[in-house]
Each structure stands twice: as structure tokens, then as C-alpha cells.
Chain A
């Protein structure tokens, strides 16, 4: 049996995490079919068909799917589900919202946010915000699985030419209505997907002092994070919070400044590839997870950091 993967897109472009989900799906079974539910979404369908890992694209083109509402999406997906062994999408806010609705309608116990495929029914997933990893085996006939995008490399996006098939829309519902979307327009990368994150903690002492963090982040094209302590102290808004109760981030480089390293913060960043800690307390627990620790006063270290970065000929973006 094949895999049905639900594409995330905005009718113009495929969202990049769909490619990560496709690569995870290919590890389960090579017969990956991608469903594009959209309105005037031919371009998206075409770009999915060019992904070599995709064997078939099912395009359901209807104004019903102009905006993404789980209530409308799920009825179309349920109609297709019978011929599939797995239904898959990425475990971002798109997939987290959608998949449980599908799973419940199919009476399936969903496996959320997997970081590794062991076999077609067995997966590894983080629990307790990554403080433990559970190996779980799904026994349902159809397996509903969401994929942690940052744990899988994106599948190649060109060179393929999968068959495109048109599908029938599901029933419309008037349960919910899309009103508007306000995308955060920032030159800065998004915290959840940024290659580099620079975070400040209580050691920053004020919101005003976060400009020191911003200066470093500008140089590195980094997202700005914060510990819960900094958020609770009102230095920065809580959409910047990294940790068990905030965002879990896995950047290539995480720079923790004035962060002591409470358990709840470590849970959100300790899977980062390279961790730097800058703290004047040499005993701070953050040093136990840091690849590079600098015991220093951040008010001196951060301006110096910018100076040193300025001396470099090139900085990766």
C-alpha cells in the first residue's frame, strides 16, 4: 500500500517543510503520493510532481480549499484514505492542526512528531520536550503520522515527473470561516526554522539591553530567542520564548547569552548542532550543554562579538 502525504502550500508555493515530510515518507515506503488541496494551485501541483521521491500527485482544485481549514481538508482526505497504509504530514502548526482530526475520524491513534523511522509501523518520537525518546509501534490499519521537519533532510525538489491526477472535493462545511492571516513580515528568519538563534536570558537585565543581542543577530542573520525568565521579566514578548513551554529549536548554531540553563530552557534548545554559552557565572548549568563556553560579562562580550564578526571576510547566511 502507498503513503498519502498532505502538502502544505499557499496556492502559489509549496511550503518547504513538505519536502522534509516527503523525505521521511520515502523512508517508510517509496510509493509516496502527495495530495494538494487548493484553489488555483496548479503551480504547486506542478512543483510537487517534479520532486523525484513523489510517485503520484493528487490535485483537488476547488475554491473550498482557498484557505486552509482543517474541517474542509479532513473530509476530502478521509474520502481518499482507504487506499493508503499511511497518512503523513509535517508536525508544524499546519499538520498539528489537521492530522488529529483525520485520525479521529478514522478511529486511529496518531503518532505525533516523529524524529526517526524504524520500520513502516515503528517510529521514534521525543516526549517531555525531547528529554526522553519513545520508540512506539502503531497497530492501526491506517497509520496517521506527523513528521518533525527538522529531523529529516528535505527531499530533492527537481528532476522528477510524477503523474498528476485530479481528485474530487469533499463536502463543504460552514462550521468555520477564514477571516485573515497576518504574516510576520520580518527580515529576520523565523525562530522555529532559523539556521542561527541568539537568545537572551535574565542576565540581559532589561528589554533595552536586548539591542546587544539584536546587533549580533543582525550580523549572523539569526532569529532572536529568549528564556522564560526573560519573558516573565517582561524584557521581550513570549513569541521569542525557547523552551519546554515555548518553541523547540534545532538550529546549526545556538548562542545563549545570560541564560543560566534551567531545565525548561534546555529542553527547547539542546538538540542544536552547536551551542555557545556566554555567562559570567562559570557554574551555570548552561555550560554543561555548551560546545563553546565563554565565561564573561555579556555587556562587554556582545559588543566585542560584533567587532570580531565585522573582521571576518565572510559570514554564512
Chain B
């Protein structure tokens, strides 16, 4: 069994992002980048399934600029066997990413495709479901538990009301929630080993996919600033303010 895992390079979740002064986007120059957090869970799960003997190969793929190679390399350092980088410049919308992944799936023929439930930059939460639609595969989104069966997966999903369990026939797409597992750190020897693992580079345009955005981003703004609050001297004062001034209790 082969598992393809899609990973995205995003601004690190600990970085306070800054909006560009001209309102055209977010400042990314000289900003720390890392793997989209739930994509780490996706890689971890694929590697665990391989370690349990149920998968034979884990392939990590990323779509983005040249530097996204680092994100693929990180996936290799925690156990993926080889990598693919699809080079594309600028904003690549989830629809275009899913079309690219569709092409790669047709070529690589994985049994499963894993990725994070959502990227923490554009917060779209679309790619996995879109890829499932394009391939006419089942989708298991927001997975917090995956049980690999013979020809299917039993997946527990995090939904608003609690948990839902579904069975999806393979091949299938799974988008991973943060509760799925505890991603491991790459050890130094494994980081060294990952440098020797192959990463195939392909231009998105060579796949015949138009990655030009369909949605016009008119402007990006900072959220309205909260007006400064006050300090209260005691719990009594706090409760009185909440009751009589803010009227929320």
C-alpha cells in the first residue's frame, strides 16, 4: 500500500503576521516558515501506518515555490520515503492544488492520500474534499482516529456535535485533525539521511494545470484594533463591571 501525503509550507504558527502596507497581502520576507501544523499529523499517521507494516511507501508532496522543498525535506526526515515538489509561483488556490494532486495521483496510484484538515494561512479547508471530488473517491475529513482494514478505513471524525465514525473504501482521501496523533521530531541522523532521499521536481505548467487564481483578492487589512481596556482592582469590581457595565453576566 502506498500513501501520498500533501504538505504545505506556511508562516510558522508562532509568528505574528503583518499585513503589507499597500494591502496586497501578508509580509512573508524574512519570516519563519514551517510545515502547516495538521500536515505534520498527516505525515506522522502515514509513517505510523508504514511502521505497522500496513503500508510500503510514503511519498510526501508539496505545491509551491522552490523553497517548499524544505517542507518536503522535513517530511522525509520524519519518515517519508521520497518527495515530490510541484513548482508554482504566487497564490495557488485549493482548486488548482487539487487538480495538480489529481494528476500526481493518476501517475503515482496511491491507495490513500493524507493531508491536514486546513492550512493555517488561507484557512480555506478545501483541498482534500476537492481532490476527493475530482477523483470520485470517498473523503474522511477532520480525522482524529484511523483504523486500516482490508480494503477500507474506519475513520473517527471530529464534528461539531462530537465524534462521527465512517467507513471509507480505498482508495480514499483523509484530512487530518490535530488530535489524530502526536507528531514526532526529526532526529539528527534522520535529518542527515533525509538529505539523500530523492525529491522529484515538476513545474505545475508542465502538468497542464492553470494555477492562475480565479478569485480576485481585492485587499487585505488588519483586523479592527480593540480599544484599550481597563484594569480592575478587585474581583468585586470585576463582577460589578461585568454585570452593570458590560452586561454580560
Q: Which residues of A contact B (CB under 8 A)?
A: 69-71, 74, 91-94, 96-105, 107-113, 122, 125-140, 173-184, 190, 192, 196, 220, 238-239, 241, 244-246, 252-253, 262-264, 270-271, 273-276, 282, 287-296, 301, 304-305, 307-309, 311-312, 315-316
Total A-B contacts with CB atoms under 8 angstroms apart: 262
Give bound CA distance, A34 to B188, whole Å.
56
B224-244 with Cβ < 8 A to chain A:
226, 228-232, 234-236, 238-239, 241-243
- Contact between A253 and B249 (Cβ–Cβ < 8 Å)? yes
- Contact between B220 and A127 (Cβ–Cβ < 8 Å)? yes
Q: A176-B140, A274-B246 are in contact. Are A308 and B235 (CB under 8 A)?
A: yes
- Contact between A245 and B218 (Cβ–Cβ < 8 Å)? no
Give bound CA distance, A129 to B37, whole Å.
13
- Contact between A128 and B11 (Cβ–Cβ < 8 Å)? yes
Q: A270 to chain B: which residues have CB within 8 Å?
A: 223, 226
Give bound CA distance, A99 to B127, whole Å.
11
- The contact of B123 among A112, A263, A276, A296, by CB within 8 Å, is A112
- Contact between A273 and B248 (Cβ–Cβ < 8 Å)? yes
Smallest Cβ-Cβ distance to B222: which chain A residue: A132
B203 within 8 A of A: no
B150 within 8 A of A: no
Smallest Cβ-Cβ distance to A263: which chain B residue: B16
21 example contacts (A-B, Cβ-Cβ < 8 A) are as follows A96-B141, A98-B129, A99-B126, A103-B126, A103-B133, A127-B123, A132-B17, A133-B222, A134-B217, A136-B216, A136-B218, A175-B138, A181-B162, A182-B162, A183-B162, A244-B120, A253-B246, A264-B13, A292-B229, A292-B246, A308-B235
A30 → chain B, closest Cβ, in Å?
A: 24
Q: B239 to chain A: which residues have CB within 8 Å?
A: 305, 308-309, 311-312
- The contact of B242 among A70, A110, A173, A276, by CB within 8 Å, is A276
Q: A178-B166, A179-B154 are in contact. Are A293 and B13 (CB under 8 A)?
A: no
Q: A184-B162, A276-B242, A291-B229 are in contact. Are A252 and B218 (CB under 8 A)?
A: no
Give bound CA distance, A134 to B216, whole Å.
10
- Contact between B167 and A179 (Cβ–Cβ < 8 Å)? yes
What are the 9 closest A-B residue pairs judged by CB atoms, nearest first?
A100-B129, A104-B130, A175-B138, A109-B214, A104-B133, A100-B126, A291-B229, A176-B138, A184-B162
- Contact between A134 and B219 (Cβ–Cβ < 8 Å)? yes
Give bound CA distance, A108 to B98, whole Å.
12
- Contact between B249 and A97 (Cβ–Cβ < 8 Å)? no
B94 within 8 A of A: yes
Q: A316 to chain B: which residues have CB within 8 Å?
A: 248-249
A127 → chain B, closest Cβ, in Å?
A: 6
Q: How many B residues face the partner with a CB closer than 8 A?
A: 81
Q: A107-B95, A176-B140, A179-B154 are in contact. Are A128 and B235 (CB under 8 A)?
A: no
B142 within 8 A of A: yes
- The contact of A101 among B139, B222, B226, by CB within 8 Å, is B139
B35 → chain A, closest Cβ, in Å?
A: 12
A280 → chain B, closest Cβ, in Å?
A: 13
Select the residue from A177, A288, A312 with max chain B CB neighbours within 10 A. Answer: A177
- Contact between A175 and B137 (Cβ–Cβ < 8 Å)? yes
Give bound CA distance, A291 to B232, whole Å.
10
- The contact of A292 among B121, B125, B232, by CB within 8 Å, is B232
Q: Given known contacts A137-B216, A178-B166, what 17 new A-B pairs fall within 8 Å (CB)?
A: A122-B218, A127-B121, A128-B121, A131-B223, A135-B220, A137-B218, A177-B166, A179-B154, A184-B162, A196-B249, A245-B120, A245-B178, A252-B248, A253-B249, A270-B226, A292-B241, A305-B238
Smallest Cβ-Cβ distance to A113: which chain B residue: B123
- Contact between B232 and A93 (Cβ–Cβ < 8 Å)? no
Q: A241 to chain B: which residues have CB within 8 Å?
A: 178
Select the residue from B13, B26, B217, B220 with max chain A CB neighbours within 10 A. Answer: B13
- The contact of A294 among B122, B164, B178, B235, by CB within 8 Å, is B235
B51-106 with Cβ < 8 A to chain A:
93-95, 98
B168 → chain A, closest Cβ, in Å?
A: 5
Q: A104-B134, A139-B215 are in contact. Are A130 and B223 (CB under 8 A)?
A: yes
- The contact of B221 among A110, A133, A196, A305, by CB within 8 Å, is A133
- Contact between A97 and B141 (Cβ–Cβ < 8 Å)? yes
